[in-house]
Structure 1
Amino acid sequence: MESNDELVDGMIKAMERLKSGDPALNTLASYLYKADHRLYEYLDKLKIYTELEKPTPQQTQDAGKLLEKIVFLLFKGLEGLQSVKSFQSAGPQYDLLVSGDDIGWKVVCKTLYLEWENRDIVIEAKATKSPLEDKQFARLCSIMEHNLRGAGLGIFVTLNGASGFPKRDSTRQRAVSDCRLRQIIFHARTNKIIVVLDKEDLFQLTKNGTLIEILIRKIRDLSELSGLPTTPAEQFQEIDLPTHLKMLYHSNG
């Protein structure tokens, strides 16, 4: 009888044969991200920090290190990860740079719409209370275009998102500006992707598969530009229809 690890290995090899964008890849996302049990403890500590009205400089510094630990555990859970680095290069400081070279990582790339020659993922952790500013977004765009040429996906892990992005529980966004505008232009010019995770996204990532599911939705929305925030990971379906069509979707005829 095959062990669970052997079964998962067989599924991943089968997933490698599917085409990028195939719905079956999304269904099997739980095999591509294994949540670390330590995330519960660290995310509880992060939640306490986010509820502080006036954190001290020391608390803010500690929150930065805590967020970096969370980021490390998140991306350590990706299938096929073989290279994980955090270092000061000749130029920029990289919070985290992850990649792989085997079939598992190839399936991760295919699921996240990444070309194999651009299979590296660079992650920036920002524990500031204010939304990410455009100049910080511009910095990562420059790094991915000129320094990390093999990075096809950039991810900001933040507490309160980025300027110009749709806010939760807000009406549909019709115009783009600030970081959101830069995200769109950068993708159009380079075909590379930068997405933003906020604290509400982070608090969902304690279940297997959730990191992959949320990244898929954020990447897809870069093309769709729905003007709405990303739906939670537990919502298996994303329904964005006018009322007269939504009624038909929910009825059985």
Structure 2
Amino acid sequence: MPTQEELVDSILKSLETLDRDEPATDKLATYCYTADKRLPNTLEKFAKHLKIKNPSQSQLKERGNLLEQIVYLVFQGLKGATSFKSFQSAGSQYDLLVTGDNEKWKTVCELLYLGFTQRGIITESKARKDKLQDKDFARLCSIMELNLTGCGLGIFFTLEGATGFPTTEKSNRQRKISDCKLRQVIFHAKTQKYIVVFDKDEILKLGENGTFITMLTRKIRDIRELSGIPPEPVENFQEIDLPAHLKEL
């Protein structure tokens, strides 16, 4: 009887032959992310911390540390990741730089539309109350283009998201892009690299198996499609964005 690890390895090998643009691939893609057992408890602490009104400086620092711990544990659950680094380089502070050098990581890269020569992922954790501004995006774009040329994906983990992105509160489809969203699109057009943003509501869902890969895939796909609406919640297996006469079918 094969072990669970052997079964997962077999599934990941099968993923190599699948078309990554097929929505059905999402079901198997979830096996690429198994939430670390320590993550739910850390997420619970983080959720409680977010409810503190008028936090002190020490509490704000603790919130930032919790967010960085969550990000690290999230990547511990991503199959194939073998290198985890957080350091002050000659020019920049890297919150977390993650990559892998094996077939499992290659499968993850395929699912995330990343070429294997640009298989690195760089993250920035921002535990502040306001949305990311264009200057935050511009800094990460510069790092990925000039310093970390082997990184094909950048991820912001934030509380309130970023300026210019469509929100669930708006009922109308966003037809114009500005601020951080504009920077995201131009950077991808220029470099074919991706930068995506997670807000606190999305972060709190990362304790469930498969969620991280599913969210990343949908966020990356939307950079290519520019639908003008937020990606479907991770609970929805299918992404349906159709006019009424087609949706009723």
State if a TM-score over 0.5 links the two structures: yes
Indicate the residue corresponding to 2:135 in structure 1. 135
Secondary structure class of the residue paired with 1:164: coil
Separation in 2 of the partners of 1:20 and 1:230?
Answer: 17
Aligned residues: 248
C-alpha distance after superposition, 1:192-233 (max 9, x if no partner):
000001111111111111100000000001111111112211
What residue in structure 1 maps to residue 85 of structure 2? 85
Identical pairs, percent = 56
Tell me if structure 1 keeps the 8 A contact 2:15–2:29: no
Deviations 1:38-64 (A, max 9, x none): 222221222223233322221111100
CA displacement, residues 150-176 of structure 1 (integer Å, 9 cap, x when unaligned): 000000000110011112221221211
- What is the Cα deviation at residue 149 of structure 1? 0.3
Letter in 1 for 2:135: K
Distance across 2 between alignment mates of 1:132 and 1:154: 14
Query: Equivalent residue of 1:154, what SS?
Result: strand
- State how far apart, in whole Å, the 1-side matches of 2:31 and 2:194 are: 23
| 1:213 alignment counterpart | 214
- Contact 1:98 / 1:122 at 8 angstroms: preserved in 2? yes
Counterpart residue type for residue 25 of structure 2: L
2:112 aligns to what? 112
For 1:120, give the aligned amino acid.
Answer: G
CA–CA distance in 2 between the matches of 1:23 and 1:63?
36
Equivalent residue number for residue 33 of structure 1 = 33
Instruction: After TM superposition, give the deviation of residue 16 of structure 1 in Å.
Output: 2.0
Aligned partner of 2:71 in structure 1 is 71
Secondary structure of the 1:73 match is helix
RMSD: 1.3
Aligned position for 1:45: 45
Q: For structure 2, which runs of at least 5 residues remain unmatched after alignment? A: none
CA distance in 2, matches of 1:34, 1:42: 16
Which residue identity lines up with residue 231 of structure 2 in the other structure?
Answer: T
Q: 1: CA distance between counterparts of 2:25 and 2:152? A: 19
User: What SS does structure 1 have at the residue aligned with 2:248?
Assistant: helix
Q: Post-superposition shift, 1:24?
A: 4.7
1:19, distance to aligned residue in structure 2 (A): 4.0
Specify the alignment match of 1:202 in structure 2: 203
In structure 2, distance between residues paired with 1:236 and 1:19: 17
| TM-score, normalised relative to structure 2 | 0.96
Q: 1:24–1:247: structure 2 CA closer, same or farther, 3 Å change rule? A: closer
**Secondary structure at the counterpart of residue 87 of structure 2:** strand
Give runs of aligned pairs for residues 87-236 of structure 1, distance below 5 A.
87-171=87-171, 172-236=173-237
Instruction: Return the alpha-carbon distance in structure 2 between the equivalents of residues 78 and 239 of structure 1.
Output: 27
* 1:13-28 pair list within 5 angstroms: 13-28=13-28
Instruction: Please tell me whether the aligned partners of residues 21 and 113 of structure 1 are also in contact (alpha carbons under 8 angstroms).
Output: no
What's 1:251 paired with? none
Q: What is the deviation of 1:23? A: 3.8
State the distance in 2 between where 1:49 and 1:177 align.
Answer: 32
TM-score normalised over the length of structure 1:
0.94
| Aligned equivalents of 1:247, 1:133: Cα separation in 2 | 39
Partner of 1:3: 3
Structure 1 unpaired stretches of 5+: 249-253
